[in-house]
Amino acid sequence: MATRENSREVILADVRAGLGRAPGAPVAARPAIPPPRALGAPDQEIERLLSEIAALKGNAQRLASADVSTALADLVRAENVRKATQWSTAGLERLGVTSCLRGLGVEIVPSDAGIKVFGDVDLGITEADFALAETGTLGLLSSPAKPRQVSLVPRIHLAIVPARAFRADMHQVFEEAKKQGYLVFITGPSRTADIELTVTIGVHGPKVLYVWVVDGSWAE
């Protein structure tokens, strides 16, 4: 370990020598950043988000909270879902996602199941913390109630987006999220163009992305 301590000092000394800076020399102000985009009217923002995601071959729609159970039944049937896992947020609970899935005969796999079991889950359901209409981007945080693998390992990811998730720009998201330890932006399903530039959806991440902007006060 002694050499490593030394490497730190050597590298920092080389950096300072190269720049002609003394240790603790003053730091100029960070150059100016162009101002953020302004938030549009709520309906416009939702429309923009949905169209951006659709353009990336995601399945995006706007729903009334009363229609979530019907939409879930359609999804389970269309995608042949047998096992699902989900975030434990108050919002998803109020929407009755778990009981609805159980009623459809879907097995609920706990997020702390081992990877061998978790790897076979068909559907992961999250509640987006942030939504950026401009690029069709969802922002997801991480906590024991919001485990990271739910949006990553299952072959289908369903993100339910409340109205309060919308932010004008990355600036606002970063201001709120930067102290959280983890954030992931998800923009459309997993994709590659590595073989002859043919766009192929669903490589390592989810093959299918559903995004439902659900109206109502369920997430408040």
Partner 1 sequence: MDATVKQIDFRRNTQGVPPNIPASVQKATGRFLGIRAGVVGQLPNWEELREAAHNIRLHAINHLDHYLEMMEKRVTEAGGQVHWARDSAEAGEIVLGIARQHKVKAVVKSKSMATEEIGLNHVLEANGIHALETDLGEYIVQLAGTGPSHIIVPAVHLTKEDIAKLLTQKLGVEAPPDPFRLAEIARQELRQRFFAADMGISGANFMVAETGTLVIVSNEGNARMCTTLPPVHVAVVGIDKIIPDWESLTVLLRVLARSATGQKITSYTSFITGPRHSAGEHGPQEFHLVLLDNGRTRALRDPVTRQTLICIRCGACLNVCPVYNHVGGHAYGWVYSGPIGAILSPQLLGTKIAADLPFASSLCGACAEICPVKIPIPEILLHLRHRVAEGDEQEAAVSPVLARAAARLGAMVYGTPWLYRLTLRVLELAQAPFRRDGWLPRLPAPLNRWTMARPFPAMDGRFRRWWAARQRGKSQ
Instruction: Tell me which residues in 78-107 interact with partner 1 (CB under 8 A).
Output: none
Stretch of residues binding partner 1 (CB under 8 A), selected from 19-27, 69-77, 96-104, 210-218:
19-27
Rank residues 69 and 135 by Cβ distance to partner 1 and give the closer one. 135
> x/- contact string, 144-173, with partner 1 (CB under 8 A)?
xxxxxx--xx---------------xxx--
Burial of 167 from C-beta contacts in 10 A (0-12 / 13-18 / 19+): buried
Distance between CA atoms of residues 126 and 137, nearest Å: 14
SS3 43: helix
SS3 208: strand
Rank residues 17 and 41 by Cβ distance to partner 1 and give the closer one. 17
Pick the closest to residue 138 from 178, 173, 186 (CA basis).
186
Q: Rounded to 5 degrees, what are φ and ψ at 50?
A: -65, -40
Do residues 157 and 211 touch, judged by C-beta distance below 8 A? no
Per the listing, tokens 């459309």 go with 188
Instruction: Tell me which residues in 51-80 interact with partner 1 (CB under 8 A).
Output: 52, 56
Contact residue for partner 1 among 42, 184, 217, 220 (CB under 8 A)? 184
SS3 161: strand
Pick the closest to residue 218 from 95, 98, 130 (CA basis).
95
Distance between CA atoms of residues 20 and 27, nearest Å: 13
Interface with partner 1, residue 191, by CB under 8 A: yes
Stretch of residues binding partner 1 (CB under 8 A), selected from 17-25, 43-51, 72-80, 210-218:
17-25
Q: Provide the residue count of the chain.
A: 220
Contact residue for partner 1 among 142, 163, 168, 215 (CB under 8 A)? 142
Do residues 209 and 157 touch, judged by C-beta distance below 8 A? yes
Rank residues 45 and 65 by Cβ distance to partner 1 and give the closer one. 45
Contact residue for partner 1 among 4, 38, 43, 105 (CB under 8 A)? 4
Interface with partner 1, residue 111, by CB under 8 A: yes
Total interface residues for partner 1 by CB under 8 A: 78
Rank residues 33 and 105 by Cβ distance to partner 1 and give the closer one. 33
Instruction: Tell me which residues in 24-53 interact with partner 1 (CB under 8 A).
Output: 25, 27-28, 30-34, 36, 52
